Amino acid sequence: MYLKRLESVGFKSFAERIQVDFVPGVTAVVGPNGSGKSNITDAIRWVLGEQSAKSLRGSKMEDIIFQGSDSRRALNVAEVSLVLDNNDHAVPLDYEEISITRRVYRSGDSEFYINKQSCRLKDIVDLFMDSGLGREAFSIISQGKVEEILSSKAEERRTIFEEAAGVLKYKQRKKKAEYK
Ligand code: ATP
Ligand code: MG
């Protein structure tokens, strides 16, 4: 599985519809400070289910919607889509290509889609939990994450490796079953 394309409109600084094409291998995003490089990884984490405004570097979820500039009015909706190549069926769906879309309105309403079919956030989170692309995915190492991994307690560090190894899902299911 690999990330083929990111499309966005209204997400943070991307007022216009943007499309970023990725190829297998290394893609480097370069640009001056404040030009939106980190906003691209924020968009990826958001569409995969990130629920914490703080970890998207805002104070409330609304902060991810384009807030306007000198020359442009603020928008009322932000939308991000990720297109994944799933030829290896790493994501357990019978599709060669998977698109995930998340939309949020200033009113707070959210919508989620898998291959243009409306779904719940949970469906997206569950789908990616073991793929290394989950919402807590350590396939995205942000500034500060390295430090966090090095300084976290042994138990927290273990959770990180459990998700990376794909066993966290089973642990969570076990816990749920025990509560019933
Ligand atoms: P650096 O090199 O400093 O890490 P960067 O390229 O990673 O910079 P980002 O942090 O991705 O830059 O982008 C920050 C920019 O995004 C700021 O100019 C900020 O004003 C803008 N921005 C963030 N949220 C919004 C929003 N809701 N509406 C409009 N612009 C926004
Ligand atoms: Mg940055």
Instruction: Check residue 55 and report its DSSP letter.
Output: G
ipTM surpassing 0.95: yes
What is the rounded distance in angstroms from the CA atom of residue 147 to the CA atom of residue 28? 22
pLDDT in tens, the chain (180 residues): 889 999 999 999 999 999 999 988 888 899 999 999 999 999 998 998 888 888 899 999 999 999 999 999 999 999 999 999 999 888 888 999 999 999 999 999 999 999 999 999 999 988 887 666 665 555 677 777 777 778 878 888 887 777 767 677 777 788 888 876
- Reduce the DSSP state of residue 85 to 3 states and report it: strand
pTM: 0.83
- Atom 25 of ligand 1: nearest residue by CA position: 12
Which strands, in side-by-side order, build the sheet including 110-114?
18-21, 2-9, 77-85, 97-105, 110-114, 117-119
Q: Which residues lie with the beta carbon below 6 Å from any ligand 1 atom?
A: 12-13, 31, 33-39, 63, 65-67
CB 85 within 8 A of CB 169: no
What is the rounded distance in angstroms from the CA atom of residue 66 to the CA atom of residue 8? 11
Collect residues with CB below 5 Å from ion ligand 2. 37-38
Q: Which of 16, 30, 35, 61 has most ligand 1 atoms within 8 Å of its beta carbon, as the pocket-test mutant? A: 35
